[in-house]
Amino acid sequence: MVQGTDALYTWSLTDLARGLKDGEFSSRELTESLLRRIDDHQQRLNAFITVTADAALQRADAADKARANGDESLLNGLPIVYKDLFCTKGVLTTCGSRILANFVSPYDATVVERISAAGAVMLGKTNMDEFAMGSSNETSYYGPVTNPWNKKLSPGGSSGGSAAAVAARIVPAATGTDTGGSIRQPAALTGTVGLKPTYGRVSRFGMVAFASSLDQAGVITRSAEDAALLLGVMAGYDKRDSTSVDHPVPDYVAGLSKPVKGLKIGIVRQHFDEGLAAGCEERVKAALAVLKEEGATLIEVDLPNIDLSVPTYYVVAPAECSSNLSRFDGVRFGHRADNPENLLDLYCRTRSEGFGAEVQRRIMTGTYVLSAGYYDAYYLKAQKVRQLISQDFKKAFENVDVIAGPTAPTTAFAIGEKTDDPITMYLNDIYTIGANLAGLPGISVPCGFADGLPVGLQLVGPHFAEETILACAHQYQQLTDWHAQGPEEFS
């Protein structure tokens, strides 16, 4: 067995898989080591809502026994944590909301099923913006998550707990969801890798819905190689999800060796405007220069309607959330107001008490744009613009293989800095929302630092081109070590 198992937190998911296979340490030792990390750092980061220590140790022991009996499942004995909107059988699934603070799921989401079937060990459920509505992880009923690089700063959101846990080297990998950038933006702000697959590539069954036509499950890891490993397990058709696409799943890990040479990379003119911080622009352009030096061709592309992505999103997403969240009414499950006078009082007080301000704001906005007299003026028009944005991407991909640019307009911002101005907060996703509206895959990878804080490079590909963007990201990481650098306090 390896000496000093407390150092295992520094290993990537891929390296841990090799170490377990070679017998350098056991899953039990690895799990105990990471559970100690959670105990040591949870109070400072608030990255977890639930820690499943006892179940994790039992699962680790089972993984060790299975390995001894010849089980070579891909993720056997490896640790994982789930964003707390993936249903997990027998474990709290709160969505970061008071209204589900007592909800124990009776079944597993498909993502959880597949990762568990591959042998992974769940350590817990991570904190998040309430119902995935937010860009700073400050809307959570359980309080904000802090950024491991500076605890006064936000880690981004809504998958902020997953991103912070991976960045702080508490866990090597976590699941997340991305509706308008909620995997990629926190990945950029924490110096981690965040992958959002093509819409329909990964099943949404058992993933509590915010905006059904936009939500997509993905992963936050330390490297593109680790993301490829997990995606290969998660991806694939699921008959229980009507939005799941029956499309072949390639070997993403094997595809990482594809060289950058000959790759045509599109640079969106609109992404390098006055809204992009100078330090972020400098680091992203330096990353693009590295890819060019390796033989990639940089081509400017135009997405003429991309500037409309934020207003379009904030009509479509609230409309869908208004519909999806109507089920949380205090009648069937979740929080219920005490001593209601009648059914209307039950509904009103349950939802007022159970939902936070941002969720209520979006529900009301969504109900408004769907109401008689406003549907055509807002919702229908937003859907038409959404199609124009999708067509812009399709046209761009006729000439390029990948579109690259900044993931976020700035580095991490202070907790509380933008909570009083929702519009400013929404603009944090200005570079990521387009991929969700068009259903495209995207990945954010660390590409350096500005004023000591991480900067993310975003790569977006055509539908089902995860293999291409993962390979590009991996090759970039073979040439740089930004992804290997973690916050000093947690090293």
Q: What is the CA radius of gyration of the chain?
A: 21
Q: What confidence tens digit (pLDDT) does each residue in 12-30 have?
A: 999 999 999 999 999 999 9
Q: Is 261 annotated in the active site?
A: no
Query: Would you tell me how many other CB atoms lie within 10 Å of the CB of residue 349?
Result: 18
Tell me, what's the pLDDT at 1?
A: 40
Cα 362-96-215 angle, rounded to 5 deg: 60
Q: How is residue 450 written in tokens? A: 């500005």
- Rounded percentage of the chain residues whose pLDDT exceeds 70: 99
- Whole-angstrom distance, CA of residue 394 vs CA of residue 389: 9
Average pLDDT over residues 66-90: 96
Tell me, what's the pLDDT at 266?
A: 98
Average pLDDT over residues 290-314: 97
Task: State the maximum Cα–Cα separation within the chain, in Å, rounded to a whole number.
Answer: 70
Cβ partners under 8 Å of residue 60, min gap 6: 26, 27, 28, 30, 31, 32, 77, 121
Q: What confidence tens digit (pLDDT) does each residue in 216-237 have?
A: 999 999 999 999 999 999 999 9
Is the per-residue pLDDT at 6 higher than 80? no
Mean pLDDT of the chain: 96
Report DSSP letters for 339-405, one per residue: S-SSHHHHHHHHHHHHS-HHHHHHHHHHHHHHSTTTIIIIIIHHHHHHHHHHHHHHHHTTT-SEEEE
Q: What confidence tens digit (pLDDT) does each residue in 318-377 have?
A: 999 999 999 999 998 999 999 999 999 999 999 999 999 999 999 999 999 999 889 999
Q: What confidence tens digit (pLDDT) does each residue in 226-277 have?
A: 999 999 999 999 999 999 999 999 999 999 999 999 999 999 999 998 889 9
**pLDDT grade, residue 4 (50/70/90)?**
low
Is the per-residue pLDDT at 53 higher than 70? yes
Is the per-residue pLDDT at 139 higher than 60? yes
Instruction: Give the type of residue at 58.
Output: Q
β partners of residue 175: 219
- Catalytic residue (one of 105, 116, 140, 158): 158
Residue 458 DSSP SS3: strand
Domains, the chain, in order of start with CATH, read 5-304+395-490 (3.90.1300.10)
Cβ partners under 8 Å of residue 369, min gap 6: 315, 318, 319, 375, 378, 379, 382
**pLDDT grade, residue 191 (50/70/90)?**
very high
CA distances from 406 to 140, 187, 212, 336, 474 (A): 27, 12, 26, 43, 17
- Whole-angstrom distance, CA of residue 84 vs CA of residue 258: 35
- Catalytic residue (one of 182, 203, 244, 322): 182
β partners of residue 177: 217
Q: Is 198 left (phi over 0), alpha (psi -120 to 50) or beta?
A: beta
Tell me, what's the pLDDT at 72?
A: 86
Of 148, 146, 169, 149, the residue nearest 157 (C-alpha) = 146
Q: What is the DSSP letter of 98?
A: G
Cα 129-133-135 angle, rounded to 5 deg: 70
Residue 454 DSSP SS3: strand
The pTM of the full predicted model, rounded to 2 decimals, is 0.96
- Catalytic residue (one of 26, 27, 83, 244): 83
- Whole-angstrom distance, CA of residue 475 vs CA of residue 480: 9
Tell me, what's the pLDDT at 2?
A: 44
Q: What confidence tens digit (pLDDT) does each residue in 389-433 have?
A: 999 999 999 999 999 999 999 999 999 999 888 888 988 999 999
- Whole-angstrom distance, CA of residue 491 vs CA of residue 487: 6
Average pLDDT over residues 79-94: 98
Of 212, 132, 122, the residue nearest 165 (C-alpha) = 122
**pLDDT grade, residue 110 (50/70/90)?**
very high
- Whole-angstrom distance, CA of residue 208 vs CA of residue 330: 17
Q: For the ranges 150-159, 266-275, 290-299, which has the lowest average pLDDT?
A: 266-275
Phi then psi dihedrals of residue 265, to 5 deg: -110, 120
Q: Is 182 annotated in the active site?
A: yes
Q: Is 83 annotated in the active site?
A: yes
Tell me the HSE value of 200 on the side-chain side, using a 13 A CA sphere. Answer: 15
